[in-house]
Structure 1
């Protein structure tokens, strides 16, 4: 296997890992904000 092909594959794995981390953090942040909004609604009532 060529060294340049290995480096290219490594970059793709790194990019996919980064996208996965971003996606998980966005979903988790949405979950937390929805939960917080619901708690605040209950406090107001």
Structure 2
């Protein structure tokens, strides 16, 4: 597994954990200019 795949898998697990705790995923990999937020949850 390369680092890109590992990062993607980690984000999937983080999203599932947030969903299990009652959060709603609003966006993933949101970009603004050169910056990125991996997960936005409410």
With normalisation by structure 1, the TM-score equals 0.46
Structure of higher CA gyration radius: 1
Q: Could you say which structure has the higher strand fraction?
A: 2
Greater RCO structure (CA 8 Å; 6+ sep):
2
With normalisation by structure 2, the TM-score equals 0.50
Q: Could you say which structure has the higher helix fraction?
A: 1
